[in-house]
Amino acid sequence: MTCSGGAQPFQVLAMLLECPGEVMARGELQKRLWPADTFVDFDHSLNTAIKKLRQALSDDKKNPRFIETLPKRGYRFIGTVEGSSKLPAVDASFGPPKGPLVLERKAAHSRVGRLAKLSTDGKSAFTLVSADEESAAERDKLEGANDDVGLSLLIAAQKLFLVAEGTPIRILEVREATSRCLVRILEGEHYGKTALVPLEWTAEVS
C-alpha cells in the first residue's frame, strides 16, 4: 500500500525496529515508503510521521528514549528490545479495565449504527486505539508495566492505531462487559478499519 497521503507512523516504526540501534537513512525511508512515481512532500510527511510516533511513545525529540534524530542522516530506534520481538502472552486472569459506564445500558445500545467522533481528554492531537479485544488486553497489561517498547511493537504489528482526535467513526457494537464499543474508522490513514474504543471516547454527532 502506497502512503501517498503521508507516511503511516506504524510503517516508519516497523522499519526502525528492523535494525534497532542502526541508522535508517531518510533516503531509504523515502525509497521504501514512496515509489519514484509518487508525488508527495516527503520531508513534511516523514516529519509528521515521526512526530506522531513520539506523541504515542511520550518521547522527547531533545532527550529521546526511543527515536533519535541524526540531522541530515536519518533516524534510529535507541530503545532496548529485550529477547525476541514476540509480544508477551496475555495472562488469562488479567481482566478488562475497571471503570464506570458513562451511559445507561439501553441508551448505549441505541447508539449502534450511529455516527460519532473520537473524543478523548482533548489534551492530545492523537490517541491510540486497539484493533480488537486481544490487543486491548495486551495494551492494558503493557501500560500497567510501563512497557513503552512493548507498546511500540503493538503499533508496528498494527494492533494499535494512532488516530487523530475528532476522527469520525461509526458505532458497530456496544460491549458492556468491557465498557468498550466496536467502531469503524471513517477518515485518515486507518480509514475502513475497525477498532475498540472506550464508550466515553465516543461523542455522538448530531
Query: What are the pLDDT digits (tens) for 127-176?
Result: 888 998 888 888 888 888 888 788 888 888 888 888 888 899 998 888 87
19's enclosing H/E stretch is none
Grid cell for residue 111? 447508539
**pLDDT of 85 strictly over 80:** no
The cell 486481544 sits on which residue?
134
The Cα 57–Cα 177 span in angstroms is 28
State how far the alpha carbon of 17 is from the alpha carbons of 66, 80, 127, 186, 201, in Å: 10, 10, 21, 29, 30
pLDDT of residue 184: 92
Q: What is the mean pLDDT of the chain?
A: 76
Other Cβ atoms closer than 10 A to 121:
9
| Pick from 1-5, 45-49, 113-117, 155-159: least confident | 1-5
The band of 80, judged by pLDDT with boundaries at 50, 70 and 90, is low
pLDDT of residue 40: 59
The Cα 152–Cα 39 span in angstroms is 29
42, 34 in Cβ contact below 8 A? yes
Query: What are the pLDDT digits (tens) for 8-40?
Result: 677 788 888 888 888 888 888 878 776 665 555
Domains of the chain: 9-77 (1.10.10.10), 105-204 (no CATH)
pLDDT of residue 34: 67
31, 11 in Cβ contact below 8 A? no
> Is the pTM above the cut of 0.85?
no
Strand order in the sheet with 74-77: 24-25, 74-77, 67-70
DSSP string, 64-101: -SSEEEETTTEEEE-S---S-SPPPPPPTT--PPP---
Q: Which residues of 8-22 are buried (b: 16+ CB within 10 A; e: fewer)?
A: bbbbbbbbbbeeeee
User: For residue 74, which of 96, 50, 97 has the smallest C-alpha distance?
Assistant: 50
**pLDDT of 55 strictly over 60:** yes
Share of the chain above pLDDT 70, in %: 75
